[in-house]
Amino acid sequence: MNKKVLLGMSGGVDSSVAAVLLKEQGYDVVGVTLKLFNEVNNVEIDAKKMCEFLNIPHYTIDFSKEFKEYVIDDFICEYKACRTPNPCIECNRHLKFGVMYQKALELGCDYIATGHYAKIEFDEKYQKNVLKMSEAGKKDQSYVLYSINKDLLDHILFPLSDFTCKQEIRDIAIKYDLPVANKPDSEDICFIPNGDYKEFLEKNSDLREAEGDIVNTEGTVLGKHKGLYKYTIGQRKGLGISYEVPLFVVGFNASKNQVIVGTEKELYTKEFYVRDVNLLLHDDIDGEMKVGVKIRYSAPIAMATITREEDKIKVIFDEPQKSVTPGQSAVFYDGDIVIGGGKIV
């Protein structure tokens, strides 16, 4: 009897090719689309059409309540706290590898699968399945998967793990005459399709423009801002300040409603803490551990030493790194293996 897998279907080329590959490997594939908003959208329609084309069952499951609770509400709260969140990490943790896995169990599935560019395989050193970087280079998505439950690693499939570029995926889609072969990638936050997160926050929360001072690190007022939520660490454009050297956002003073700016040199950080830690390899961090660290999805891996301090982990870089941003995640690696990570404080 074939193993049964519940595959997250978005109606895009990645998840559609993942379905083809899983079928080729002999799995009984069931497609599922997570309805994350109240309105019907093209994701549901396109996913259903693709499943019909591939002759596999398809379900649409309404998780809009959970999505609002775990992703949208968190997104708003983080910006209120002058932090810059990554909503994909929360969605993966609670929705795609949380409630979707529970649905897989209800449907009698042995695995869940997605079109993520990441890899899970058995590692001799750790004697268990581990989450690893895929072969896709800059498109690797292991960074946004560190927060999943480690107990699920034996039950997750990533069919796209060994592909090095998107064109290879599109070539397979063309080979199988998939209608989505040339469908453009979606790069915006899924619940903010126009990319204007400030407008979204103003429409969906009590955040409003509130003028305050832009100050340098010595407290000198250099200009005015229109709301702390409109700025993020490392931002240079849109400050409206004329100064002798380029200035960047380096921090906030929420109690005084101030945006703090500084020179590029002041953007570099040697050490910081992470909270809400999730570990995939170890039960805990014992003593000092040398690891590679990514501080954002697009950042290169930098070497650091991590230690446990109560409910947080302290990170000390070998060399200072630029724009360490509260609210983003720091993900720890042993080579290409994900150790775990947490939210930057």
Which one from 51, 109, 165, 190 is the annotated catalytic residue?
190
Q: Which value, in Å, is the radius of gyration of the alpha carbons in the chain?
A: 22
In angstroms, the CA 246 to CA 223 distance is 14
For residue 110, give Cα distances in angstroms to 6, 146, 151, 162, 270. Answer: 8, 22, 14, 22, 44
**DSSP letter string, 317-339:** EEEEEE---BTBEEEEEETTEEE
Q: Are 251 and 214 in contact (CB under 8 A)?
A: no
Q: Are 152 and 93 in contact (CB under 8 A)?
A: no
Pairing mode of beta strands 128-133, 258-262: unpaired
Closest by CA position to 104, among listed 35, 155, 161: 155
Q: What tokens were used for 158?
A: 């990533």
Buried b (16+ CB within 10 A) or exposed e, 31-65: bbbbbbbeeeeebbebbbebbeebebebbbeebee
Q: Are 273 and 312 in contact (CB under 8 A)?
A: yes
Which one from 51, 82, 91, 109 is the annotated catalytic residue?
91
Question: Residue 5: which H helix or E strand, with range?
Answer: strand 4-8
Catalytic status, residue 190 = yes
- Residues forming beta bridges with residue 4, ordered by sequence position: 28
Catalytic status, residue 77 = no
The catalytic site residues sit at: 91, 190
